[in-house]
């Protein structure tokens, strides 16, 4: 039994890692290209602390639209390359990468030689996905430190702070925000540049297996700190800087599910002022519209501009909930369908919450994004709305375990390939739209989902429709901490939870008080 335990990792390594030797090496200005027994490996030295690794099944590297990484051109970095019969070593002032010729493994170490991690092997397996020729991407890493902690990967609801020994699915859904950035307590990070459904699997603690269901190439960035702040800074250099909000956004918000009329929202605002309680933001949640996809207030709000003006006079800001859904019979539905601006061949079909035939707009289509913002601008921003509660930006999965974009076509390509980036595209519609409409008001977006790069769209994430109990309250602590280590500095949670208990229950009152303490 002891022998089996000792040998199992090696057997596992052999099973997943057939030898793929280096045949030739070509030094380039920004790194080196390795012709392998199968495929081509490129190591790009972006800076002394940022290394990009690409692996292609062919001699070339296909170029696709990348909406996530916005920095492609790097100033020349100082680095050097040394070759021996067994290895090729690439060195910067901070890092030393050793490529083993017999199998193409990459060992990452600090400049002084302290080991960090090793990518032992990588594979691209041909697959047909949604009618498209593609590959399944797999990278197999060896972790050296027995006390090494793994963090980030967005926001997940398993109650886990350190992902060592855990497996995390990278797929958007309500309450789970997926960002493929992992940080190690040893001072490095790995940004896995894929928008497809992926997995970070460390169930065998000495090995990290990263995979994506759809790819042309393996593409990841190795980010060295060693401080976490520097790693996150490098990640933002790749994907965009986090933005500063107006001062009001850092104050107290008043929100409930939901205000039902202009009269109600104004009376609540007045009560706060009468009680001299400082509130900066009041939130209008859903069903202020007639039908989903109409950005016009219903009859319960007879003069919304006057309502917003009165709130502004009392130094309130108004945040309003907007969704990516369009209901049949709504003002914009037929026009968007005629132009092909909905996710192809998908309609919601579970009344009453989702009206049968309701569609979700294709946020990967720039024309659809512009039209979406034009409607938001005309109906809301032009009359003074200050901020946006962008709900169901995953988008909503309608109770399914599968993301609804799987097996559907998007303007940018296969839904299987781009599904995790939907919240990035959706929030971009509003961020860029408002920036083009006015420079007098900073953008603020509260989004139920996020992805790599969302921070550049002025996004604050919240933890979704969580249940109101002590277990879920406890889970928000590691969920928020890991999200903050995924490049997004702004995060929040529904105080008291979303699926609430009885306000007359002493137990729920205690939970609500403790949650309020945490929230502030």
Same domain for 232 and 279, yes or no, is no
Decide if 494 contacts 461 (C-beta within 8 A): no
Same domain for 218 and 336, yes or no, is no
Q: State the DSSP string of 305-368.
A: HHHHHHHHHTT-EEEEEE-SEE-TTSTTHHHHHHTT-BPTT-----TTTS-TT-EEB-TTSHHH
* Domain edge (last residue) among 412, 443, 474: 443
Domains in the chain, number: 2
Domain assignment of residue 299, yes or no: yes
Q: Respond yes or no: is residue 394 known to be catalytic.
A: yes
Same domain for 32 and 121, yes or no, is yes
The whole-number pLDDT of residue 18 equals 72
Q: Where do the DSSP E strands lie in 290-358? A: 317-322, 325-326
Name the helix (H) or strand (E) containing 242.
Answer: none
Q: Respond yes or no: is residue 396 known to be catalytic.
A: no
Overall size of the chain counted in residues: 520
Half-sphere exposure of 217 (CA within 13 A, CB side): 20
Domain coverage including residue 200: 11-148+186-239
Same domain for 204 and 297, yes or no, is no
Residue 254 neighbours by CB under 8 Å, 6+ apart: 268, 269, 272, 279, 281, 282, 283
Domain assignment of residue 502, yes or no: no
Same domain for 194 and 299, yes or no, is no
Kindly name the residue from 391, 396, 426, 428 that is annotated as catalytic: 391
Q: How far, in Å, CA of 44 to CA of 36, rounded?
A: 16
Domain assignment of residue 459, yes or no: no
Domain assignment of residue 485, yes or no: no
Q: Block means of pLDDT (10 residues each) for the chain, length 520 residues?
A: 39 59 98 98 99 97 93 95 98 99 98 97 94 95 92 98 98 96 98 98 96 98 98 99 96 92 97 96 94 94 98 98 94 94 83 78 98 98 98 84 88 96 99 97 98 99 95 98 97 91 90 93
The whole-number pLDDT of residue 217 equals 98
Q: Which residue has the tokens 């950035």?
A: 181
Q: Where residue 377 sits, what CATH number does that domain have?
A: 3.20.20.80
Domain assignment of residue 509, yes or no: no
Same domain for 226 and 281, yes or no, is no
Domain assignment of residue 159, yes or no: no
Kindly name the residue from 213, 394, 426, 494 that is annotated as catalytic: 394
Domain assignment of residue 462, yes or no: no
Same domain for 224 and 324, yes or no, is no
Q: How far is CA 382 from the centre of its chain?
A: 29
Domain assignment of residue 175, yes or no: no
* Domain edge (last residue) among 443, 476, 502: 443
Phi, psi values for residue 94, rounded to 5°: -120, -25
Whether cis (ω within 30° of 0) applies to the bond prior to 352 is yes
Same domain for 190 and 210, yes or no, is yes
* Domain edge (last residue) among 425, 443, 461: 443
Q: Name the residue among 19, 34, 39 with its Cα closest to residue 102.
A: 19
Decide if 493 contacts 476 (C-beta within 8 A): yes
Instruction: Pull the structure tokens for residue 505.
Output: 């229950």
Q: Respond yes or no: is residue 401 known to be catalytic.
A: no
CA end-to-end span of the chain: 53
Decide if 166 contacts 203 (C-beta within 8 A): yes
Name the helix (H) or strand (E) containing 178.
Answer: strand 177-184
Same domain for 231 and 351, yes or no, is no
Same domain for 323 and 370, yes or no, is yes
Same domain for 285 and 433, yes or no, is yes
Q: How far, in Å, CA of 9 to CA of 168, rounded?
A: 20
The whole-number pLDDT of residue 396 equals 85
Q: Where residue 20 sits, what CATH number does that domain have?
A: 2.60.40.1760
Same domain for 229 and 279, yes or no, is no
């Amino acid at each position: 039994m002891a022998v089996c335990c000792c040998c199992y990792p090696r057997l596992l390594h052999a099973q997943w890692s057939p030898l793929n030797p280096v045949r030739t090496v070509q030094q380039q200005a920004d790194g080196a290209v390795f012709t392998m027994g199968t495929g081509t490996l490129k190591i790009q030295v972006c800076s002394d602390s940022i290394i990009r690794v690409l692996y292609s099944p062919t001699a070339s590297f296909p170029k696709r639209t990348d909406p996530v990484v916005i920095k492609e051109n790097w100033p020349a970095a100082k680095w050097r390359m040394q070759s021996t019969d067994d290895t090729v070593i690439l060195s910067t002032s901070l890092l030393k990468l050793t490529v083993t010729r017999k199998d193409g493994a990459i060992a990452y170490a600090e400049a002084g030689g302290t080991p960090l991690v090793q990518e032992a092997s990588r594979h691209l397996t041909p697959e047909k996905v949604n009618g498209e020729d593609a590959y399944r991407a797999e990278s197999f890493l060896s972790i050296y430190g027995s006390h090494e902690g793994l963090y980030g990967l967005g926001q997940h609801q398993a109650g886990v702070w350190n992902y060592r020994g855990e497996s995390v699915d990278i797929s958007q859904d309500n309450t789970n925000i997926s960002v493929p950035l992992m940080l190690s307590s040893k001072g490095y990070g790995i940004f896995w540049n894929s928008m497809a459904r992926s997995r970070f699997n460390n169930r065998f603690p000495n090995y990290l297996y990263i995979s994506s269901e759809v790819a042309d190439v393996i593409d990841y960035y190795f980010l060295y700190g060693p401080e976490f702040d520097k790693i996150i800074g490098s990640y933002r250099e790749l994907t965009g800087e986090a933005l500063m909000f107006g001062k009001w956004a850092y104050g107290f918000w008043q929100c409930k599910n939901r205000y039902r009329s202009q009269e109600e929202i104004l009376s609540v605002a007045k009560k706060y002022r009468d009680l001299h309680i400082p509130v900066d933001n009041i939130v209008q949640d859903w069903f202020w519209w007639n039908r989903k996809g109409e950005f016009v207030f219903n009859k319960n709000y007879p003069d919304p501009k006057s309502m917003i003006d009165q709130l502004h006079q009392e130094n309130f800001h108004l945040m309003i909930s907007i969704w990516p859904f369009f209901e049949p019979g709504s003002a914009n539905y037929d026009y968007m369908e005629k132009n092909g601006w909905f996710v192809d061949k998908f309609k919601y079909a579970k009344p009453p919450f989702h009206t049968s035939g309701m569609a979700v707009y294709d946020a990967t289509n720039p024309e659809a994004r512009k039209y979406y913002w034009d409607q938001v601008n005309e109906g809301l921003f032009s009359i003074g709305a200050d901020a946006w509660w962008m709900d169901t930006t995953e988008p909503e999965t309608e109770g399914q375990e599968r993301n609804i974009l799987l097996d559907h076509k998007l303007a940018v390509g296969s839904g299987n390939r781009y599904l995790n980036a939907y919240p990035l595209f959706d929030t971009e519609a509003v961020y860029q739209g408002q920036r083009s409409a006015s420079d007098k008001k900073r953008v603020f977006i509260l989004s139920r989902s996020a992805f790599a790069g969302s921070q550049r769209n002025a996004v604050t994430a919240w933890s979704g429709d969580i249940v109101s109990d002590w277990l879920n309250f406890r889970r928000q602590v590691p969920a928020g901490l890991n999200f903050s280590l995924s490049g997004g500095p702004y995060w929040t949670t529904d105080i008291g939870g979303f699926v609430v208990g009885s306000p007359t229950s002493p137990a729920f009152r205690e939970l609500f008080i403790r949650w309020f303490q945490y929230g502030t």
